Structures are given as structure tokens and as C-alpha cells.
Homo-oligomer: A and B are copies of this chain.
């Protein structure tokens, strides 16, 4: 059987650490080419300098996975869809909501699969949490997403440049989990955004959210908060604590582990990218798309209704 062929666009850390191993491990796609503007290479696949060159050289290519910075994803996705390719996009799927909505229309016109891969959702512990919350009386949700930007993004100035998302770059992962596990829509009511005096995006943010009334008795959801920090020293925290009438769930380690009332309930090896490629393969087979704008909407909403505050300058 011939595997569908895939071109990987952008050969940075996430492509090397996650995408290439996951493509190999799942064996559902043949990595037919990579695109790297600076000429970087990987074993076993030819390298092109631009997506346009790859599309011209390999007209039979079936799909593209985009691992570039967010600012260029819209243009590359339009180019790939119009060339008849299925497209997987790393998170966040576009620089703005207007771009993302346009991609939905482009995918429909092209009749091709578009998949916005919010990777943090693809952990078994997230699916287990969603199942446990489906009928739960949820009294409160507290997101604590605190990491040291100097350790995880050393010298990456783009993250603090306008449009670079700042602390929302990791924080949007938490919001992608939140929207996946809650049984009701959630809205930003208020936010505080702290921007270093010499930068343009937040280095810390707090969000006050509220979930929609579902109308069903016992399903009202209490306070939902998020605490994002890029200057966390010592222990790093990527956790969501959920208080329910039946006990407390802690989804920790970026959504990979679940404890219930302090007792480990689920901890599987981190295979989220393998699940992503299995899902992409299934979407293509089904002629379907999977586009979710909600995590990006919550970030944009926080920027819209939030209080922007200047804080101490940041240097690496």
C-alpha cells in the first residue's frame, strides 16, 4: 500500500523534536520533503527553500504540515490548499482570528482537509478529564501555567515582538485544554496583561473567565481563572485544578497526568504528536476538517477586554 506523502514546512525545534519522530512512529505518512529557508536538512527527505518550490517539484504531494512561526501560516496554508493539499497547522494556527476564519473558507473552497492541531489536547488524560466533567457539578477551575521563558525559549525575541503572543504562546495550550474539557462555552470577563517596558507582548497575564449557563440544573460552572507567568523560577507548572461536587481533579504536566483527590488516575507516556498524525490521517480519509478557533478567540478576547500594564524591562 502506498502511504500518502507529506511535506514538512519549517524545520525548527518542534519539527525535529516532535513531528519527524511522530511521522516515523505512526507510519501513516511518507515524509516526502522538508522546507527550510536556511537550507537545514533531515535524513531521508529532500529539502526545499520554500513551500512554492516544493509544490512545484512534487505535484503529487498529498499533504503539508506547517511548523513555521505563526505570522506566515495563513499565506502558506492558502498556497497549499489552492495547490490541492491537505494541511495540518501547528498551534496557534494563524496570527489573527480574521486569518483563521479565512482559512476555513479556503479549505471549503478547496475541498481539502484543514486541521488546526492544538497538541496539548491530544493526551489521554485530557480525554479522561473531559469524560469525567461531562455531567459534573463544576465549582471552579484554576489554570496555573508558569514557566521560565529563559529556559524554554532562550533568546527567542520574536515571542516578545508584536504578534508574538508572549506568555500566551504557552498559555494558549492551557486554553486549548480548557475548551476541550469543559462541557460549556467559556468567556473572558476580565484580564490583566503585564508587558515589559522594552517589549510588546505580555510576560504575565491573569484571566477571569465565566462559563455559559447551560440551562440544565446542576450544570452551572463556577469561577474559571488562569494565571500565566513567564518568569517562573524553580518548579515549573502546567496545571489545571478542577473542583467538582464529587472531588478534585488535577490535570498536570501540561495535560499528560490526571490525579483525582490526590490519587494518580492516569499517566501515560507523552504521545500527543502520534495522536495528532493519526487524527490527521483519519480526517483526510473521512474528507473532514477539524478547525477550532476557541483558544485563539480567548486570547484575542483577553487582549480586547484586558488591562494592559507596563512592567519591568526584560532582557535575556
Contacts and interface: CB of A to CB of B under 8 A. Distances in A.
Specify how many copies of this chain sit in the oligomer: 2
Contacts of A195: 308
A97 interface: yes
A298 B101 CA distance: 11
B307 A200 contact: yes
Contacts of A187: 74, 95-96, 98-99, 102
Contact of A98 (B101, B102, B163, B186): B186
B300 A188 contact: no
Contacts of A24: none
B96 A188 contact: yes
Interface residues of A, number: 37
B304 A163 contact: yes
Interface in A276-291: none
Nearest to A293: B101
A130 interface: no
A30 interface: no
Given A96-B305, A98-B294, 16 more contacts: A82-B215, A97-B297, A97-B304, A98-B185, A98-B186, A98-B301, A101-B185, A102-B185, A163-B190, A200-B307, A297-B300, A299-B304, A300-B301, A300-B303, A303-B303, A303-B304
A212 interface: yes
Top 9 nearest A-B pairs by Cβ distance? Answer: A96-B301, A300-B300, A303-B303, A163-B305, A308-B308, A102-B185, A300-B304, A303-B304, A97-B297
A186 B301 CA distance: 19
A310 interface: yes
Interface in A213-258: 213, 215
A107 to B, nearest CB: 14
A185 B101 CA distance: 9
Contacts of A304: 96-97, 163, 299-300, 303-304
